[in-house]
Structures are given as structure tokens and as C-alpha cells.
């Protein structure tokens, strides 16, 4: 997943990096590293992210960001 999409969805939901990390079961630091493109999102975290926010919503956000 693109780090920009990851950050955009977090911000659109009004979540801090810490809050998102808690929802996904990862550290705030790892959220930060994913958003900065320093770490790739693992398959398990990607799956949990899509379960949390809905695959359809994630794909709509990705498409929106690609157009802009």
C-alpha cells in the first residue's frame, strides 16, 4: 500500500498515529515509518488495515489520490 494512502485514511478518520497503531496492533513508531515510506506495510498489517476501514473505502481513497 502506498504510504500516502495510509496517511490520508488515518487523517481522514481523525486518528493520531498512536490511535491507529492501537487499532492495528503496531507501534506508533511503525505507523510513522510506514507513512514516511521507511518501512513497507506487512501483509498482516495491510489485512488488518483493510478490515478496520473497509476494502472498498481504502480503494476509493487510493483512486482519489491517484487522480489528484
Domain boundaries, the chain: 3-67
- Angle between helix 17-24 and 43-53 (nearest 10): 100
pLDDT for 64 equals: 97
Q: How many residues does the chain have?
A: 68
pLDDT tens for residues 7-38? 999 999 999 999 999 999 999 999 999 999 99
E strand intervals along 3-47 = none
- How many of the other CB atoms lie within 10 Å of CB of 38? 10
In this structure, whether the domain defined by 3-67 belongs to CATH 1.10.260.40 is answered with yes
Distance CA 13, CA 53 (A): 9
pTM of the model: 0.92
Amino acid at each position: 500500500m502506498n504510504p500516502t494512502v495510509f496517511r490520508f485514511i488515518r487523517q481522514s478518520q481523525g486518528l493520531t498515529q498512536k490511535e491507529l497503531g492501537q487499532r492495528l496492533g503496531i507501534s506508533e513508531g511503525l505507523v510513522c515509518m510506514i507513512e514516511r515510506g521507511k518501512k513497507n506495510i506487512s501483509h498482516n498489517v495491510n489485512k488488518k488495515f483493510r478490515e478496520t476501514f473497509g476494502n472498498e473505502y481504502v480503494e476509493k481513497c487510493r483512486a482519489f489520490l491517484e487522480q489528484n
